[in-house]
A = this chain, B = another copy of it.
Amino acid sequence: MGEFSFIEWLRKWQKRRKDVMLGIGDDCAVIDVSSDKACLITTDMLVDGTHFDLKKCTAQEAGRKAIACSISDVAAMGCQPTVAVISLCFPDHTPEKFARELYKGIWGISDTYGIEIVGGDIISGRSPFCINVTMLGRDEGLKPIRRSGARIGDAILVTGTLGGSILGRHLSFEPRLKEALVLNKNFAIHAMIDISDGLTADLNHILEESGAGAILYEDQIPVSRAAVELSKKTGCTPLHHALSDGEDYELLITLSKAQAKKVLSSGLFAGVTVSCIGEIVKGHGVRMKSSVGAIRLIRPRGYEHLKYKE
């Protein structure tokens, strides 16, 4: 059993409350808090050696990343993050300076996005440094955008360029909050997700929730320079990295082709490229259309955190 099948098991057996509008299985859960307002909630755990390497990055970068990941999850619902609580597990004998540097990173990005850290928990143990961020968001009259809304015939858009984030961008990325709010306010978005597991893996989450398939246009995938650079070391193609690497934290969006055209010509996303990379079709799974029109099935690849011993 892996991470995703365990989540399926959880979804199947978890009892439901009436005020929970959206439970396990999306970027955020959505809770009904009053007649006209919803509260979004998302949680992310990051541990040294897996999500960052404190031998190679600073405490400040680790703190920034933890907050940025949660902002990206709220952005993926098209909503505004508001407050967060942070749990920290420090290895025994962590110097005070580390904690202060960590909070420099946390506060820097929190201030930029108007988020207050309202509480937390601090423990120590015989374990690597671990940080958990739970972030709340509000819908501001906007409808939270789910993974399950993709429709046959939708265009698939993606922000930015993809692949090779391991070379640095997984620490320094700017969550696409501004772009997500512009999209939700001005266009009829059907489905949205942030790319954390990898383009094909996260697209597959949308497809499974929406009961559809997708065709990607091979020559339209926005391959990053980092993907090209990384391919020289790994022997994989830059396209492979763009399709499979995790932690791009770009937005993957589906909406009608007419709306997609308006997005692409709107001029509302200055400084951030938006690409039309494919379309939603009947069926299931992801197929790839080459520049000469050949179509092949591709297996969704990406990072699955949990591999249980069978």
Contact = CB atoms under 8 A, between A and B. Distances in A.
Interface of A: 1, 3, 6-7, 9-10, 13-17, 19-20, 22-26, 28-29, 31, 33-34, 36-37, 39, 41-47, 49-51, 82-83, 85-90, 93-96, 99-100, 103, 107, 110-111, 114, 116-128, 130, 132, 134, 136, 138, 305-310
A108 to B, nearest CB: 11
Given A23-B119, A39-B136, A83 B31 contact: yes
Nearest to A25: B119
A43 B85 contact: yes
A85 B39 CA distance: 13
Contacts of A29: 83, 85, 118-119
Copies of this chain, count: 2
A43 B87 contact: yes
A86 B6 CA distance: 14
Nearest to A69: B121
Given A41-B85, A121-B45, A99 B34 contact: no
A82 B33 CA distance: 10
A94 B309 CA distance: 6
Contact of A23 (B22, B50, B93, B118): B118
Contact of A127 (B43, B47, B117, B138): B47
Nearest to A90: B306
Contact of A3 (B9, B46, B122, B305): B122
Contact of A93 (B37, B86, B128, B309): B309
Given A43-B132, A44-B87, A134-B134, 18 more contacts: A14-B107, A15-B110, A24-B119, A28-B119, A29-B83, A33-B37, A33-B39, A34-B36, A39-B136, A41-B83, A41-B134, A45-B130, A47-B123, A47-B125, A51-B123, A85-B134, A87-B132, A127-B127
A17 B110 CA distance: 11
A17 B119 contact: no
Contact of A42 (B9, B25, B43, B85): B85
Nearest to A4: B122
Nearest to A31: B83
A123 B31 contact: no
A308 B118 contact: no
A45 B87 contact: yes
Q: Considering the complex of A and B, which 10 residue pairs feature the smallest CB-CB distances, nearest first?
A: A29-B118, A134-B134, A45-B87, A34-B34, A132-B132, A43-B85, A127-B127, A29-B119, A17-B116, A47-B125
21 contacts: A3-B122, A6-B96, A9-B100, A17-B82, A17-B114, A22-B118, A24-B117, A24-B118, A31-B136, A33-B37, A33-B39, A34-B37, A43-B119, A43-B121, A44-B121, A45-B123, A50-B124, A85-B134, A94-B309, A124-B306, A127-B127
Contact of A6 (B15, B17, B99): B99
Contacts of A89: 45, 47, 130
Contacts of A138: 33
